């Protein structure tokens, strides 16, 4: 594992390649801003087209109304019953022609709007992808990680949500497992759960009824890691049948699971942890399985596949035109670290860190401040971002 240090060889608190993070940050902003501008222009184009469409259709409706009014005024000059039948026929013909013209014009506008909205959606997806390439490396301080797993047929739908201290929140699709996860896939031992205390044939003394769960399948799970990590998981025996099942709540560091319920074929629930006899008959293999299951969730941060959403203060970054605000928010978070690197640096016009590998070999990592500022100055607000970072 690589160890990171300041230029003066004191320990770097983040223990990450912050120089690489800064470069990724600059690349993200430089690529995202033109796409953001295209999105803004497309939205303006859509608004203008919708206004033009509304105005044109109102003109057509007004034209028909004025024609009908004129026909009525002419017909009324001949007295009651004079040309009423003729005028109605004329208005009918006019109305049909106007309707056809109106539909044709509306179709033209709708096709244009469809094209614009399609392009807008494409650009917003592109922007989300650009943001995702940056957020993939979890570059911000994390306050909570959430993993949700649900089985669909013989596969899983699973997402990983990262909630950051800065108000940024993003979700990735993840590959939880390539196939249905059985207990035996994680632990190559026989695993039992005590489901009930039952009397024996030869004695009045009750003994635990042990249910072997090696071929039971993980049905769903919710993993939450913040100040206190928790994993809620459900195991099921049969496909498409909610019973029997096992419900558990696991917390790392505890000698036993916090909560363990057994639901039998009839839907009756036994709270194993509240029954002293059952609780003491939970075997070590089951506890080992829960540790392996937790371990699988620990590794999911590295299994991100596709970004599904990214927001700031509850608003979509890609849909609400918040790229500039996001960049400034990130810069504000990074500014303290940048300041510390500069304070401990040996060269005034560079940001310097050192990386030490397992063999003790050190490599210098640096970023030339003038080059970074020049790069950022090529885009709107790039200079302001550098100032917020403390690189002015």
Task: Write out the two tokens for 321.
Answer: 């035109």
Place of tokens 């109605």: 88
pLDDT in tens, 113-167: 999 999 999 999 999 999 999 999 999 999 999 999 999 888 899 999 999 999 9
pLDDT in tens, 27-41: 999 999 999 999 999
Burial 221-238 (b: 16+ CB within 10 A, else e): bebbbeeebebebbbbbe
- For the ranges 181-195, 249-263, 323-337, which has the lowest average pLDDT? 249-263
pLDDT higher than 70, residue 78: yes
* Mean of pLDDT values over 233-261: 83
SS3 330: helix
Residues contacting residue 86 through CB under 8 Å, at least 6 positions apart? 75
Residues 257/274, Cβ–Cβ less than 8 Å: no
pLDDT higher than 60, residue 91: yes
pLDDT in tens, 352-366: 999 999 899 999 999
pLDDT in tens, 189-234: 999 999 988 877 666 778 888 999 999 999 999 999 987 889 999 9
Burial 278-307 (b: 16+ CB within 10 A, else e): beebbbebbeebbeebbebbeebbebbeeb
The pLDDT confidence band at residue 322, using thresholds 50, 70 and 90, is very high
Q: What percent of the chain has pLDDT over 70?
A: 96
SS3 84: helix
The pLDDT confidence band at residue 323, using thresholds 50, 70 and 90, is very high
Residues 56/109, Cβ–Cβ less than 8 Å: yes
Task: Write out the two tokens for 22.
Answer: 């800064």
The domain ranges of the chain are 35-135, 177-302
Residue 302: phi, psi to the nearest 5? -95, 5
Highest-scoring range by mean pLDDT, 71-80, 81-90, 307-316, 352-361: 307-316
Q: What percent of the chain has pLDDT over 90?
A: 71
pLDDT value of position 116: 98
Task: Write out the two tokens for 77.
Answer: 């000059």
- For the ranges 8-17, 192-201, 287-296, 340-349, which has the lowest average pLDDT? 192-201
DSSP string spanning 245-270? EEEEEE-TT-SS-SEEEEE-TT--EE
pLDDT value of position 378: 87
Highest-scoring range by mean pLDDT, 50-64, 73-87, 298-312: 50-64
What CA–CA distance (Å, rounded) separates 43 from 350? 41
DSSP for residue 188: S
Q: How far is CA 294 from CA 3, 21, 160, 211, 305, in A?
A: 26, 29, 15, 22, 20
Using only C-alpha atoms, what is the Rg of the chain?
A: 33
pLDDT mean across residues, the chain: 92
CA dihedral 80, 83, 85, 90 (to 10 degrees): -140
Highest-scoring range by mean pLDDT, 75-84, 105-114, 234-243, 296-305: 105-114
SS3 168: strand
Residue 383: phi, psi to the nearest 5? -65, -40
């Amino acid at each position: 594992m690589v160890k990171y240090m300041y230029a003066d060889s004191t320990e770097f608190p983040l223990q990450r390649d912050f120089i690489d993070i800064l470069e990724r940050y600059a690349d993200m902003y430089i690529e995202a801003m033109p796409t953001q501008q295209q999105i803004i222009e497309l939205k303006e184009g859509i608004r203008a087209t919708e206004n033009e469409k509304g105005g044109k259709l109102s003109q057509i409706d007004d034209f028909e109304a004025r024609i009908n009014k004129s026909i009525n005024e002419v017909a009324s000059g001949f007295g009651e019953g004079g040309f009423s039948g003729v005028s109605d026929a004329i208005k009918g013909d006019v109305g049909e022609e106007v309707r056809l013209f109106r539909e044709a014009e509306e179709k033209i506008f709708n096709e244009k709007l469809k094209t614009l909205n399609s392009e807008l959606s494409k650009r917003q997806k592109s922007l989300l992808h650009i943001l995702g390439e940056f957020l993939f490396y979890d570059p911000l301080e994390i306050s909570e990680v959430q993993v949700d797993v649900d089985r669909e047929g013989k596969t899983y739908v699973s997402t990983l949500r990262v909630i950051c201290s800065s108000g940024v929140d993003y979700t990735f699709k993840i590959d939880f497992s390539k196939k249905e996860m059985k207990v035996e896939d994680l632990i190559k031992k026989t695993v039992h759960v005590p489901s009930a205390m039952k009397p024996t044939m030869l004695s009045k003394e009750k003994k635990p009824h042990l249910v072997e769960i090696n071929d039971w399948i993980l049905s769903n799970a919710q993993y939450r890691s913040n100040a206190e990590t928790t994993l809620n998981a459900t195991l099921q025996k049969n496909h498409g049948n909610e019973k029997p099942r096992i419900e558990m709540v696991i917390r790392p560091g505890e000698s036993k699971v916090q909560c363990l319920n057994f639901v039998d074929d009839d839907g009756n629930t036994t709270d194993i942890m509240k029954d002293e006899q059952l609780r003491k008959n939970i075997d070590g293999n089951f506890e080992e399985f829960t540790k392996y299951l937790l371990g699988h969730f620990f590794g999911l941060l590295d299994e991100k596949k596709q970004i599904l959403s990214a927001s700031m203060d509850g608003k979509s970054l890609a849909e609400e035109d918040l790229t500039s605000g996001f960049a400034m928010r990130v810069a504000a978070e990074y500014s303290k670290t940048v300041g510390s690197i500069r304070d401990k640096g040996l060269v005034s016009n560079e940001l310097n860190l050192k990386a030490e590998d397992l063999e003790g070999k050190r490599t210098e990592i640096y970023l030339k401040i003038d080059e970074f500022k020049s790069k950022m100055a090529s885009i709107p607000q790039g200079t302001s971002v550098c100032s917020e970072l403390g690189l002015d």
